[in-house]
Structure 1
Amino acid sequence: MAVIVVTGGTRGIGHGIAKELIARGAQVVICGRSGVDEAAAELGATGVVCDMTVRAQVEALWEKAASLGPVAHWVNNAGVSTTSKPLAELPAEQLETVVNANLLGVLNGSAVAARHMLEQGSGTIWNMEGFGSDGRTMVGLTAYGSTKRAVTYVTESLAKELKGTQVKAAHLSPGMVVTDLLLKDYEPEQLEKAKKVFNILADKVETVTPFLAEGILKGVKNGGRVAWLTTPKIAFRFATAGFNKRDLFA
């Protein structure tokens, strides 16, 4: 039974991935800063309270997971967003929070997992992409998008460092998923406008996470990617949006 760590597994995409991995026979360890016991009990997972920005806590997360067996996969999913505002209007505390969670947390998780996986001789580190990973930009998402662009760099660079070993680094790309992380930072008027795009490109957690879980278990080459919302799929959805009405908010 594969042991898999999913950071930020208490809700949203992380929770969904953990659920789907468990349904496929994996032994999953989730972490979060709050709500861990409740989520772990619901899922049938092992829960660890962990702030990914604190290296000692990330080490403790690895130790707990490794006590269950060799860690086959480590999914760096934990992250936060910011209020949808231009960078000049974004409060400093939000900027610090998003950079720490989305970048420092991924760096800590990748560093700890890579070191221990090299010691055990196997494993894959999956880093969660998001808006900005491919270089696209949007007003109000400068901080968030910058961290996700950086995460893509981290994964590519780490893959080079792991070349020639039995440990891999890979990209996990869920596309646009309707979660509280996506919706909570929009003002009501902004959200009404954004819904038009969401209903074309976005999907629900339960639609995307089975695909991601299957991709994780199947695996990819070092530096590879499991991506739900591909360029051809984006083009098809825009082309058919006029007669294929979707309402994710009904």
Structure 2
Amino acid sequence: MVGDSFPRSPVVVITGGTKGLGLGMAQAFLRHDGRVVVSGRDPERVAQAVAVLAGEAGGDRVLGRAGDVADAEEVQALWQAAVERFQGVDIWINNAAIGSIEQDFWEHDPATIRALIETNLLGTLYGTRVAARGMLAQGHGQIFNLEGWGSGNERRPGSALYGTSKAAIAYFTRSLVAELHGTPVRLGRINPGIVVTDLLALSIRPGQEARIARFIDLFGDRVETVAPVLAARVLANRRHGVHIAWLTPRRVLGRLLSAPFRRRRVIER
């Protein structure tokens, strides 16, 4: 990358890029002539995602690699695979995350707590470390960390575990923005709002489905709505410390005001 401009076909690495929002963003970057690298823990799901992406854009612009973001060596191997295939990385998106059923924190078993914190928080830390080191060495690049419920200090009964991981990511990212100031590496945050994915569906507390469905119908969006906008804003960004948000206060207010006149249906019944 020369100066402040991306190359014609930027290389984008997306962790957790085999389904949901990650896969949607990969598809959007391909439509912008990008080259994408997607990762996930399940080799079969990685292969399926690569097949979908290659079918849309051709296999020469797509790479998939199975790995666990909670393993520092596997994250480093992901960077190396991208560099060996595409000779560099222009954008790295720490998107990998898992959720948990909404319940009182003390009801979570230790294995669930460990897995969520390792994937959501440790995976973001490792991804940022690997990408920052590689981009500082190559002289350019942008890193984006995915926020979520809890990043803005939101609280809801049953969301303490997931929210803690996302609140920590917000703090970490703000801190690293200061550390990377004056370097050729830009770091930013992406808050996609409430996107209907498997992660969201699996977190709903039993017995609360109807209430949550009404909330999501009002404030939620589908992947195909959000992903293209986020990808375009990432590609257009030239600012260090940027915060890219989909569900802005203005959009929230607009939906509240229009709710009595227009019924939104986001979740499939």
TM-score bracket relative to the smaller structure: over 0.9
Letter in 2 for 1:126: F
Q: Does 1:36 align with 2:46?
A: yes
Distance in 2 between residues matched to 1:69 and 1:183, nearest whole Å: 38
User: What residue is the counterpart of 2:232 in the other structure?
Assistant: 214
Separation in 1, partners of 2:151, 2:254: 21
- Residue of structure 2 equivalent to 1:60: 77
Q: In 2, Cα distance between the equivalents of 1:54 and 1:26?
A: 27
SS of match in other structure, 1:103 = helix
The one-letter amino acid paired with 1:40 is V
User: Does the Cα contact within 8 Å between 2:216 and 2:267 map onto a contact in 1?
Assistant: no
Structure 1 residue ranges (4+ consecutive) displaced by more than 3 angstroms after TM superposition: none
Give the AA of the match of 2:11: V
1: CA distance between counterparts of 2:26 and 2:15? 9
Q: How far has the Cα of 1:212 moved from its partner?
A: 0.5
- Alpha-carbon RMSD: 1.0
Gaps of 5+ in 1: none
Whichever residue aligns with residue 80 of structure 2, its letter is E
Distance 2:266 2:238 in 1: 31
Q: d(CA) in 2 for partners of 1:154 and 1:43? A: 32
Alpha-carbon offset, residue 188 of structure 1: 4.4
Distance (Å, rounded) in 1 between the aligned partners of 2:107 and 2:262: 37
CA contact 1:2–1:70 (8 Å) conserved in 2: no
Residue 189 of structure 1 aligns to a residue whose secondary structure is: coil
Residue deviations 1:197-219, cap 9 Å, x none? 10110000000000011011111
**Structure 2: distance between partners of 1:111 and 1:188:** 38
1:46 to 63, 73, 77: 63
Percent sequence identity over matched residues? 38
Distance in 2 between residues matched to 1:13 and 1:69, nearest whole Å = 26
5+ residue gaps, structure 2: 1-8, 55-61
Return the letter of the residue paired with 1:135.
N
Indicate whether 1:26 and 2:44 are aligned. no
Match of 1:111 in 2: 129
Report deviation, 1:249. Answer: 2.3
Separation in structure 2 between the aligned mates of residue 92 and residue 230 of structure 1, nearest angstrom: 35
Please give the alpha-carbon distance, in whole angstroms, between the structure 2 residues aligned to 1:232 and 1:105: 32
Q: Secondary structure at 2:13's aligned position in 1?
A: strand
- Matched with 1:160 is 178
Equivalent-residue separation in structure 2 for 1:66 and 1:158 (angstroms): 23
Count of aligned pairs: 250
TM-score, normalised on structure 1?
A: 0.98
Aligned partners of 2:106, 2:260: CA distance in 1, in Å? 37
Stretch moving more, 205-214 or 91-100: 91-100
